[in-house]
Amino acid sequence: MNENAASRPRRSWVKPLLFVSLALNLVVIGAFVGRALAPDRPRWSDGVAGSMRGVIGAHFTRALDPGDRGALHDKLTGKRSHLQASRGRLRDLLDELLVALRAEPFQPDDIRRILLEQRGVAEERQLLGESLLLERLEAMSPEERSAYADRLERSLKRFKRR
């Protein structure tokens, strides 16, 4: 039995390999935990619904406190049919744009008309978002607005670093 164990080649590389593997696993786990617990990390599930991001803007809505964000969401829910119609119109205009881009002979006036209409639809959506956001800001106390401004500033600084 002793002779058999002595005849096997010694694998001195196994222990260091296991140590390196364990260290790498701890680094990866640490990175995930650190990212999850970071106070200023971007939040995918931050309660900012897609319609709010698309109409008001992620930075502006993310900086709101949860109560204000919920109130804005409720207001937008009341405008859902209008928002869905305008989003559908934007999709239709993109389809028209693709057709116009492939058309022979090329008609730049058609492209210009489509782009102008897209801008109008997007502008209408943005104006709705701005008016709803302004309503929320007007309802805030000076301290709440100041705290909102601080959160917005932090959000914009993170965006600039990317």
Question: What are the tens digits of pLDDT across the range 100-156?
Answer: 999 999 999 999 999 999 999 989 988 888 898 999 999 999 999 999 999 989 888
Quote the number of domains for the chain.
1
Give the CATH number for residue 144.
Answer: 1.20.120
- Mean residue pLDDT of the chain comes to 82
For residue 41, the model assigns a pLDDT of 52
Go through the chain and tell me how many residues it has: 162
Sign of the C-alpha dihedral computed for residues 73, 147, 44 and 54 taken in this order? positive
Q: Is position 29 within any domain? A: no
**Residue 55 to residue 73: CA distance in whole angstroms:** 11
What is the residue range of 132's domain?
46-161
Query: Domain for residue 23, yes or no?
Result: no
- For residue 8, being part of any structural domain is answered with no
CB count within 10 Å of CB 90 equals 15
Does residue 22 lie within any of the structural domains?
A: no
Residue 131 located in a structural domain? yes
The Cα angle at residue 88 between residues 137 and 55, in degrees rounded to 5: 15
pLDDT of residue 111: 94
- Sorted by sequence, the CB contacts under 8 Å of residue 15 that are 6+ apart come out as none
Hey, what amino acid is at 49?
Answer: A
d(CA 45, CA 15) in angstroms, rounded, equals 42
* Global model pTM greater than 0.95: no
Task: Tell whether 81 is covered by a domain.
Answer: yes
Provide the residue type at 148 as one letter.
Y
Q: Which of 121, 117, 82, 83 is nearest to 97 (CA)?
A: 117
Q: Is residue 34 part of a domain?
A: no
Q: Other CB atoms closer than 10 Å to residue 96's CB: what's the count?
A: 16
CB 76 within 8 A of CB 132: yes
Average pLDDT over residues 42-54: 50
24: in domain: no
